[in-house]
């Protein structure tokens, strides 16, 4: 399996201003914010040495990390940098040194947005969030940077959202809901048939299959198909319930920097230990 360019997801904060019920939180709770300090720089230097080319900044909501912009500036000198944001923290993206912006928008309907939250919200809150997201969409378009909208398909109404968002000119990617994967995939597949969409290009990397479609709408889909990495998944008792399998390397901070290898189990290792381990060698063989 070819997963070049090799990438790592950096969970630079655990803080988030939303509480989407389907969020997997990159697998870790109660983590520390990343800091642009010697520990972080030394850590990223080591990952650069093993061939990491791409970094994806996640959270939580990564823009809530106090050192967010400084971290982007540093990383952009060494790596291709993507940030995954919920879009509700307004930024001038033309001044932030990232290569790509992925904005997770699951609804621009106040009632639907409230339903997606794990905590009680008001319609007034939702309307304010939507206005901020719309401003951010404009800012992203004006930045002329590569961009994508991710939309988790939770029901048929999600597809109407996808059609409306496609008019922004930003690529819309439909993602399956890991909490209800069979129903979510069925809705996506029916949408493809209804739109008489033609598959233009596809690729499969580890635990996902991405396809691009043309037709009435231009959009892409990312469907989860578990890929099991024997070094960590071979004897796992959770396999039958696991919809992600091995997705790649994640980095989080708990005092020091740790590599996370699984969303569902607490498989984390100090990054220096991981880089000396057989698992690192087995991972690189995948690449």
**Residue 152 maps to which CATH number?**
3.20.20.70
Beta strands in the chain (DSSP E): 7-11, 54-58, 80-85, 100-104, 146-153, 171-176, 198-205, 208-214, 219-224, 249-254, 256-260, 268-270
Query: Count of domains in the chain?
Result: 1
Q: Quick check: is 243 in a domain?
A: yes
Q: Quick check: is 182 in a domain?
A: yes
pTM for the full predicted model: 0.92
- Cα Rg of the chain (Å, integer): 19
Task: Tell me the mean pLDDT in the region 263-269.
Answer: 85
Task: Tell me the mean pLDDT in the region 112-132.
Answer: 95
Domain extent, residue 40, equals 7-286
Q: Quick check: is 191 in a domain?
A: yes
Token pair for 114: 């409230």
- What percentage of the chain exceeds 70 in pLDDT? 98
Between 53 and 262, the higher pLDDT residue:
53
Q: Quick check: is 179 in a domain?
A: yes
Task: Tell me the mean pLDDT in the region 5-29.
Answer: 88
pLDDT for residue 280 is more than 80 = yes
The mean pLDDT of the chain is 91
Q: Quick check: is 2 in a domain?
A: no
Q: Quick check: is 1 in a domain?
A: no
Q: Quick check: is 239 in a domain?
A: yes
Residue in 257, 269, 245, 246 with CA at minimum distance from that of residue 12: 257
Task: Tell me the mean pLDDT in the region 136-156.
Answer: 95
Question: Given pLDDT bands bounded at 50, 70 and 90, which one contains residue 6?
Answer: confident
Q: What is the pLDDT of residues 167-222, one digit of tens each?
A: 899 999 999 888 888 899 999 999 999 988 999 988 877 777 889 998 878 899 98
Task: Tell me the mean pLDDT in the region 257-263.
Answer: 92
pLDDT for residue 86 is more than 80 = yes
Residue in 105, 227, 219 with CA at minimum distance from that of residue 158: 105
pLDDT of residue 170: 93
């Amino acid at each position: 399996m070819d997963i070049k360019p090799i990438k790592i997801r950096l969970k630079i904060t655990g803080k988030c201003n939303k509480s989407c019920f389907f969020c997997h939180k990159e697998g870790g709770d109660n983590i520390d914010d990343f800091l642009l300090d010697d520990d972080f720089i030394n850590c990223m230097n080591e990952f650069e040495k093993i061939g990491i080319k791409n970094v994806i900044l996640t959270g939580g909501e990564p823009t809530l990390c106090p050192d967010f912009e400084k971290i982007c500036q540093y990383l952009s000198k060494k790596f291709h940098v993507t940030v995954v944001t919920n879009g509700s923290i307004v930024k001038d993206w033309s001044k932030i040194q990232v290569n790509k912006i992925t904005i997770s928008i699951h609804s621009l309907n106040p009632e639907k947005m409230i339903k997606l939250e794990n905590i009680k919200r008001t319609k007034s809150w939702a309307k304010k969030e939507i206005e901020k997201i719309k401003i951010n969409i404009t800012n992203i378009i004006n930045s002329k940077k590569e961009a994508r909208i991710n939309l988790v398909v939770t029901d048929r109404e999600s597809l109407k959202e996808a059609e409306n968002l496609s008019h922004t000119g930003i690529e819309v990617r439909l993602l399956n809901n890991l909490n209800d994967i069979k129903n979510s995939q069925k809705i996506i597949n029916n949408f493809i048939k209804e739109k008489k969409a033609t598959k233009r290009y596809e690729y499969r990397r580890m635990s996902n299959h991405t396809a691009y479609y043309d037709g009435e709408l231009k959009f892409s889909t990312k469907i989860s198909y578990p890929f099991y990495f024997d070094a960590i998944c071979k004897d796992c008792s959770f396999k039958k319930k696991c919809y992600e399998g091995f997705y790649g390397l994640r980095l989080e901070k708990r005092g020091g920097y740790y590599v996370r290898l699984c969303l569902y189990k607490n498989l984390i290792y100090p990054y220096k230990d991981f880089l000396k381990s057989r698992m690192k060698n087995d991972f690189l063989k995948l690449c």
